[in-house]
Structures are given as structure tokens and as C-alpha cells.
Structure 1
Amino acid sequence: MTARKRASATATTTAAAADLRPAQADHKSPESTSSDPSIAPPKWGVIGKLSLLFSIPYFYLLFYHYKIQQELKRSILINAGLSLAGFFVTLKMIPAASRYVLRHSLFGYDIYKKGTPQGTVKV
């Protein structure tokens, strides 16, 4: 049984560079990321109306319909408040995180829409 020899370092780097060239041509250059459309800001009016619409039945059931102990009601309200605060913090963080991710080219494309205009949208 003979030992396999490794290819020289220069042969591997040139072969690897040749393999990367077509893949880099498919994606847009980092300079073109500045022309990408920015993320639309959240629609605070719609969010507020939906929050109010869905919280009215919740609070009705919690305070009037069911007989729940006071300590349990307090725990449920704290949980609901923290969940709502977490939702709004997430809404504020998504645009900042998306700018960071796009700036560092950490995105992908939808492979099921390849060949269509939606297939070039960064996900």
C-alpha cells in the first residue's frame, strides 16, 4: 500500500480560488448593499389597535368571568406585561440587527424561488 502525497500549497490555493470565482459572481458585491431598500418601520397604530383588541377579552376573562386568586392574577399580569415589553423591544431590535447582518453579508436567498425575481431577495 502506497502513501498518498499531499498537493503543494500553491496548487491548492489556486484551485480553491478558481472554485470561488463563479460563486462570487452570483452574489452582489458588498458595495451594492447600500442601495438595498431599508426595512419598513413598524406600523405602531396597527400594532396598538390589535394589542387592544386582543387584550380586552383576555382581561375580561381574567378579572370578571373567572374567579382567580389575587396572587395568581398578579402573576398573570406580570407575565403579560413582560411579554408585551419583550414584544416592543423585539420590534426595536429587528431593524438594527438586520442592518448589522446585511452589512456583514450574513444573508441567504430563498432556494425555492430561484430563477424568479423573488429569488434575488435577501433573506
Structure 2
Amino acid sequence: MKVLSSLPVIALAAFSFLGVAAAAKATASPLVGTWVLCQDPDGSPKDTLEFFTEGYGFSRRPSAPMSPFLFKEAKDQLLLAVNAHGNLLNIYMGVSPDRSRLTLKSERTGNEAFYVRVGQEKQNGCTAK
């Protein structure tokens, strides 16, 4: 009999969760997905940035451990709070108006690298290796 009395509570919790999940998808960032380094005049190793709807992601580089990050987009700016080997790094990137490129200006050289969505490398003439 206790199982039947718990059923309405479980059903309510399930529907509440589905409602929250639907709301999260409705407000998901247009940046969600995987982005790849396309061009970098400084010759950094090719890496990817993977963004998830919940506001976190991972930076992945071939011969290095992945680095988790939190992200927040505001207008044409993107803030990544990256956990790099236990150190918190704030990285500011630009977002193109059409959301097709993420740009990163090197503080060291002043050069600008950019990322594109995976699958868009040929259209953007990517040269990063």
C-alpha cells in the first residue's frame, strides 16, 4: 500500500524534472556543441572546446588532459572560467554576430586566433594543426 501512496509524489517529481529540462533546452546557449581551433598565427596545438547546455564544457587537446570550464555569454563576449591543473583561469573570447566564430586575442603577442564549429573547417579555410 505504501508503494501506491508514493506514486503521485514520484509522478509529480518526474513531471517537474521534465519541465525544468524543457525550460533549460529553450534557453540553451547557441554556442552549445563542439568548436575546433581553426587558425592561430601563434601556432598553438589544435584543440577543441565543447559546450553543454548546463553552462559547463571541456577544453580538449590531443596530448594533454582535458580541462573543465564554466562559461557565460553576454552580448558579443564569452567568459570561460577554466580549471587548468588546479589553477583558475579567466579567458575572454569574442563571439561573432552570426555566432559562427569564437575569437581569442593573445595577451602575449596580440595575435588573434579563432574557433569554428566542428564540420565548418573547410568553409573557413582552417590551417591549425
TM superposition score normalised by structure 1: 0.30
Structure with the higher fraction of residues in strand conformation: 2
Q: Which structure has the larger Rg? A: 1
Question: Which has more helix, going by share of residues?
Answer: 1
TM-score, with structure 2 as normaliser: 0.29
